[in-house]
Chains A and B, each alone.
Chain A
Amino acid sequence: ETGVTQSPTHLIKTRGQQVTLRCSSQSGHNTVSWYQQALGQGPQFIFQYYREEENGRGNFPPRFSGLQFPNYSSELNVNALELDDSALYLCASSLVSGGSDEQYFGPGTRLTVT
């Protein structure tokens, strides 16, 4: 078990609605990344926050946005939900070092868009 928690566990939304997913990082970690994982696929990078600033973004439209707070908790917001947004959303925290950073993943939030 990592020290990363996510809420809610499951969520059902209707197309066009907005959703906010939450993540609490492992203690001492200063970086959080969000990933989308469709069924049978690997996680796909959405964006990363380092010390409350966006530090990199994957190939996702602007309706995917995020925030990182001073206590290193984080939010992922998705506007104008589409059916294809149905997926497992994972957050991962890490401590930025000089090399590659091992990511500590939370259990994920399963989002279903109907």
Chain B
Amino acid sequence: SQKIEQNSEALNIQEGKTATLTCNYTNYSPAYLQWYRQDPGRGPVFLLLIRENEKEKRKERLKVTFDTTLKQSLFHITASQPADSATYLCALDTGRRALTFGSGTRLQVQP
């Protein structure tokens, strides 16, 4: 069956460190993969998009990798800050424009 897996346990890190979040998927062939941030009681906010033929994408302190062989995407936040604390969602776009989301990983950055 099709599955998208993100760490269900919260990730706790110290301010200034790099946070690495994982998104694994099975039985999908996504053309694109997107990452979103969601704060409590609010809608998700788009962060980054990566295509199947791209290995890596960067935006300021954010970096996403996409390995279609491993069926995995890694999301990195460098020099993390308490304001980065939120739930991060990965979403697969199989080319039909409907996004399929993982359940998200909650990141807590301690000052």
Using CB atoms, name the residue of chain B closest to A50. B97
Contact A102 B34 (CB under 8 A): yes
Give B80-111 as 1s and 0s: 1 = Cβ < 8 Å from A's Cβ atoms. 00000000010101011111111110000000
Contact A92 B43 (CB under 8 A): yes
In Å, the complex CA distance between A99 and B98 comes to 12
A64 CB to closest chain B CB, in angstroms? 14
How many of B's residues come within 8 Å of A, CB to CB?
26
A10 CB to closest chain B CB, in angstroms? 11
Q: B74 interface residue, CB < 8 Å from A?
A: no
Contact A45 B42 (CB under 8 A): no
In Å, the complex CA distance between A92 and B95 comes to 17
Q: A96 interface residue, CB < 8 Å from B?
A: yes
Give A76-108 as 1s and 0s: 1 = Cβ < 8 Å from B's Cβ atoms. 000000000000001010101001111111111
Contact A45 B32 (CB under 8 A): no
Q: Which residue of B4, B93, B96, B97 has the most chain A CB atoms within 10 A of its CB atom?
A: B97
B5 CB to closest chain A CB, in angstroms? 11
Q: B16 interface residue, CB < 8 Å from A?
A: no
Contact B44 A45 (CB under 8 A): no
Question: Residues of B at under 8 Å CB distance from A?
Answer: 4, 31-32, 34, 36, 41-46, 49, 51, 89, 91, 93, 95-104
Question: Residues of A at under 8 Å CB distance from B?
Answer: 2, 4, 31, 33, 35, 40-45, 48, 55-56, 58, 90, 92, 94, 96, 99-108
